[in-house]
Amino acid sequence: MIRKYFGTDGIRGTVGQPPITPDFVLRLAHAVGQVLKKSESRPTVLIGKDTRISGYMLESALESGFNSAGVDVVLLGPLPTPGVAYLTRAQRASLGVVISASHNPFADNGIKFFSAQGSKLSDAWEQAVEAALDEAPVWADSASLGKTRRLDDAAGRYIEFCKSTFAHDLTLKGLKIVVDAAHGAAYQIAPKVFHELGAEVTAIGCAPDGLNINQEVGATHPGALVRAVLANHADYGIALDGDADRLQLVDAAGRLYNGDELLYLVVSDRLAGNDLIPGVVGTLMTNMAVELALKARGLQFVRAKVGDRYVLEELEKNRWLFGGEGSGHLLVLDKHTTGDGLISALQVLQACVRSGRNMAQMLAEVTLFPQTLINVQLRPGQDWKSNTQLAAKTRAVEAELGDAGRVLIRASGTEPLLRVMVEARDAAQAKACAERLVEAVRAE
């Protein structure tokens, strides 16, 4: 069954345009309620949101839709996506709901869901919801309507959970840290987590007005963090995205570290503590240098499709704990069931504090391979997979690179674009090879 509304991470779009309209969101909540009631007579759902102005409207629509199906609602207020996942599990709720469009600008918003275990839901569950959307509503009578209450200390509970993932015998005392919450869901929480663990905290991107989420700050605009770290002579800088499920880190020199490097650093720390780690999951875009460094330490490495839900699927299939992608989504499954920017940052800082080394020193043996990525516009109906010239040039490039590089060609999931990526130890070689492949695409 082809999904009509759900994408790779819930339902997302521009506010005021289908499907992000209050009437559809009410129907969506009612349909989800009908699915829940097939296995539970009186479900309870938790609803959290980021700081977009549209969150008020969508929260009200969700609340009405769930109540109309006989589902109780607990409102959490502004809370990071992984915080909703945690509280869903801790409160023994039936479902967690997040109103957020993550790193998108304020004009967008979305709805995503977590299971009672705090994990992403299956394709089959999403298909069941879409099927229920096509059915007539079953309005509960007055005696059966759901009720709504607010969990006033949701942020405090999540702060304590984040702190509990940091080693109890360590502290952040003596460290100056800049925290950038992207004017998003973690604007109150993130500074408190690091301050309460002992750090001297400077906060930027922590003054939301409903319209400025992700605007020139946060994980998608790390330049603001780099400037603040240098201006404040800080030891580290931590940037989250709008819903705080991913991060970027900066060191005292202003160098930015991506998710691939941070994943290696966390795994390296665990190996130093004699943890048993059979393997690690990355994505098709994970830098080859990280793959080679992990394999050199005797670890298996598996590449999943791009997207943290696919990384999680591979981890669960292999029963492994560590995975992530370069964008800063890290999964540390012995600490949380989903990607969490705050907890990932704490794992990195814990590694540095415990080893007495900074990030640059811990990653001295990992030099990222240069990558050249070129997006090529595809004509309507263009079948790039049958392009024999492209296939021949791809084989030639792969032979030229050998074990010192790789080629990745994939279609965009959202635009008529073909993404051509070549990775090599030499930047000029990567660029030249990518351009040869692009010529073959355009020549068709």
Q: Please give the Cα distance from 224 to 207 (Å, whole number).
A: 14
Q: Active site residue: 64, 94, 100, 102, which one?
A: 102
Structure token digits, residue 146: 């759901």
For the CA atoms of the chain, what is the radius of gyration?
A: 23
Beta carbons within 8 Å of 407's beta carbon, 6+ residues apart? 394, 397, 398, 401, 421, 422, 423, 433, 437
Residue with tokens 């096509």: 134
Residue with tokens 């539970």: 40
Beta bridge partners of 114: 96, 120
Q: Please give the Cα distance from 219 to 397 (Å, whole number).
A: 34
CA nearest 189: which of 73, 76, 348? 76
Helix (H, G, I), strand (E, B) or coil at 155: helix
Helix (H, G, I), strand (E, B) or coil at 290: helix
Q: Please give the Cα distance from 275 to 277 (Å, whole number).
A: 6
DSSP tally for the chain: helices H, then strands E: 14, 18
Where b means 16+ CB within 10 Å and e means fewer, 247-282 reads bbbbbbeeebbbbbbbbbbbbbbbeeeeeebebbbb
Q: Is residue 102 flagged as an active site residue? A: yes
Q: Where are the alpha helices (DSSP H) in 134-197?
A: 154-164, 189-196
Q: Please give the Cα distance from 294 to 238 (Å, whole number).
A: 25
**Taking the chain, what is the end-to-end CA distance rounded to the nearest angstrom?**
33
Q: Are 72 and 144 in contact (CB under 8 A)?
A: no
- DSSP secondary-structure letter at 384? G
Q: Are 116 and 85 in contact (CB under 8 A)?
A: no
Q: How far, in Å, are 34, 62, 95, 101, 256 from residue 73 at the CA level?
A: 14, 9, 10, 21, 41
Q: Please give the Cα distance from 338 to 112 (Å, whole number).
A: 13
The three-point CA angle 9-218-222 to 5° equals 120
Mind telling me the catalytic residues? 102
